[in-house]
Amino acid sequence: MELGMIGLGKMGNFMAQRLIGAGHRVVGFDPSADARKKLEDKGGETVDALESLPAKLQAPRALWMMVPAGRIVDQTIDALLPKLQAGDVIIDGGNSNYKDSVRRAQSAAEKNLHYVDCGTSGGVWGLQEGYSMMIGGDKDVIDRLAPLFEALAPGKDQGWGRVGPSGSGHFTKMVHNGIEYGMMQAYAEGLSILKHKQEFGLDLEQITQIWRYGSVVRSWLLDLTADALKKNPNLDGIAPYVVDSGEGRWTVAEAIDLDVPAPIITAALIERLRSRDSDCFSDKLLSAMRNEFGGHEMKHEGLTPPPTAK
């Protein structure tokens, strides 16, 4: 099959390369000439203008977007629409909000186009290991595109599938990322407890390596954690600042809307937000409150902290 790949960052480029390796024809576009060259060096074709991409593909066309969620997705679609024709398929493989995907699918259907939302997981390891894909959209269209999904997945019948109608792919990926937040937070807190037990002199990299085999907490995420600790045991040079790309927030908001308790995912999200506050007013106020009602000593900036209360 052939595919137009829009967005040739690390993930989009690696996905295109995996498809080329499986014998598919890929024509890519990215505003970066360096990104286009990387794909060309791996056997892909490129165009230097988004509007030129559809003409390089045979109808019915399949165009896969790997661009940041939000306005840029709509701008990309708007630029493509004049060059598309009935039966063409637009696939959004990024982390769009599922509500946006539902809206875009409805708009595409009015123009006799197909819109597929594909929640994609695998990151920079996907080229080697394959991608997990949670796909929403019309079953007949997804069946027609199956050879592409099979080539991208870890196995022909593994790691991908249609999960439901338009929007369901990104909804499922949203919750997937919420779960990821909770798992990451649990590993981080547990390993922090181990590190603070200083009298035992625990080797965190050794412990994570032990856990990787036979333990009930083994996972690919733990494998990556062990690799990170092997490279940098004390995490030197890394700021305690954790970003979020939005899916955790959306998951928590959806849980509230559905009256589903999700305390772990919510706490993990709050911890990420907390990591960014280098001058935390609420913590200062807590210290001031303790001083007001109990005369408890306060730590002042630049001074040695008071002894831990017993």
* Residue 307: pLDDT over 80: no
- Cis-peptide, bond into residue 31, ω within 30° of zero: no
Catalytic: which of 2, 45, 150, 180?
Answer: 180
Start-to-end C-alpha separation, the chain: 68
pLDDT for 310: 39
Residue 271 annotated as catalytic: no
* Residue 85: pLDDT over 60: yes
The mean pLDDT of the chain is: 93
pLDDT for 309: 47
- Calculate mean pLDDT across residues 24-43: 96
How far CA 185 is from CA of 22, 167, 179, 248, in Å, comes to: 37, 28, 10, 12
Q: CB burial class (10 A; 0-12, 13-18, 19+) of residue 57?
A: middle
**pLDDT tens digits for range 152-192:** 999 999 999 999 999 999 999 999 999 999 999 999 999 99
Residue 301 annotated as catalytic: no
Neighbours of 129 (CB within 10 A): 14
Q: What angle do CA 226, 228, 234 make, to 5 degrees?
A: 105
Give the domains, in start order, of the chain with CATH numbers.
2-165 (3.40.50.720), 174-274 (1.10.1040.10)
What is the CB-side half-sphere exposure of residue 230 using CA atoms within 13 A? 10
Catalytic: which of 173, 189, 197, 292?
Answer: 173
The residue type at 285:
L
pTM over 0.95: no
Flag the least confident range among 63-67, 128-132, 248-252, 276-280: 276-280
The span from the CA of 286 to the CA of 154, in Å, is 50
